[in-house]
Amino acid sequence: MERIAFLGLGSMGTPMARRLLAAGHPLAVWNRTASRSEPLRAEGAQVALSPAEAVLGTGIVVTMLAGPEALDAVAEEVLPALGRGTVWAEMSTVGPDAVAALRERLPGGVTLIDAPVMGSVDAAASGSLQVLAGGEVEGPVVEVLERFGSVRRCGPSGSGAALKVVLVNAMIGGVAVVAESLRLADALGVDPAGAREALAAGPMGGAVRRTLSDSAHYTLDLAAKDVGLAVGAADLPVLRAVGEELRSRDDLAGRDLSALREPRP
């Protein structure tokens, strides 16, 4: 089976890497906080001391990083070490501009696809993510992406990254609206269970389920980063206000986005 390098073992990257190990892929892993790699070493992964070491001799590189800055830093180390014929699957949420900038830096013979995902930690563990793939998605990388979930082919390079910004911001905005609606219901003395049931039966049903989820781990700081990708691309006053709210909720630091339903202290 194809040897794979997996760079970035956060809350999403770790269960995704585990799925590759479970499928029998030889796997090299790297994470900036080295201690996060150790559980995977015990499960059979080779733990690399640097991104460059991880990608040596691999046919497929997967990155699942925090954002554009982290991707840029990793690329500085990885690019000189990539072999001809390598496919780089960039699965972080970084937006199409970062994908285009990375593509311009690739050495000859290396292919880049953008394949960010929709879904949270539980879906990553079960292999039920939605993979939004842009670029030339063919060959062994298809099987790798399918280990993570269903693959939607979005079009040319950057199209998967662009659609991810659209979809994730629709989710963020929906959660923010539902969270405030629940707080409004409380202020007006509406029965909490009745309010949740009625909201779930309406057009915001999906956002209600996400707002009430206890299994997701998508922190407010990551959501604020993703809103920043959107408001940097278009005039979006509602999302701009949501981003300001996310950045101001210091009381919810490290919490999942669903914590927005809690009132300010």
Contact yes or no for 115/60 (Cβ under 8 A) = no
Identify whether residues 37 and 127 lie together within a single domain. Answer: yes
Number of domains in the chain: 2
CA separation for the pair 197, 174 (Å, rounded): 16
Pairwise CA distance, residues 19 & 38, whole Å: 16
* Same-domain check for residues 190 and 128: no
Q: End of a domain among 156, 189, 204?
A: 156
Shared domain for 190 and 235, answered yes or no, is yes
- pLDDT value at position 135? 98
Phi first, then psi: give them for residue 205, nearest 5 degrees.
Answer: -55, -45
* E-state strands within 8-55: 27-30, 46-47
Q: What is the pLDDT of residue 160?
A: 98
pLDDT of residue 216: 87
225 is catalytic: no
Instruction: Let me know whether 89 and 148 are in one domain.
Output: yes
Instruction: Tell me the residue range of the domain where 70 lies.
Output: 4-156
Q: Provide the token pair at 26.
A: 């030889």
Give yes or no: residues 147 and 53 share one domain: yes
Q: What is the model's pLDDT at position 1?
A: 84
Q: Which residue among 136, 156, 176 closes a domain?
A: 156
Indicate whether 43 and 171 sit together in one domain. no
Contact 58, 41 (CB under 8 A): no
CATH number assigned to the domain comprising residue 78: 3.40.50.720
Nearest to 94 by CA among 119, 113, 71, 110: 71
Same domain flag for 146 and 190: no
Task: Report helix, strand or coil for 76.
Answer: helix
Residues 24 and 72 in one domain: yes
Angle, alpha carbons 114-116-118 (nearest 5°): 155
CATH number of the CATH domain containing 240: 1.10.1040.10
Query: Which residues of the chain are under the pLDDT cut of 70?
Result: none
Last residue of a domain, one of 108, 126, 156: 156
Looking at the structure, tell me whether residues 232 and 247 fall in a common domain.
yes
Residues across the chain: 265
The residue annotated as part of the active site, out of 36, 103, 164, 196, is 164
Q: 140 and 20, same structural domain?
A: yes
Task: Say whether both 187 and 105 belong to one domain.
Answer: no
Same domain, 68 and 87: yes
Listed in order, strand segments (DSSP E) in the chain are 4-7, 27-30, 46-47, 60-63, 87-90, 111-114, 117-118, 129-134, 149-155
Tens digits of residue pLDDT in 133-158:
999 999 999 999 999 999 999 999 99
- Shortest CA distance to 79 belongs to which of 108, 100, 99? 108
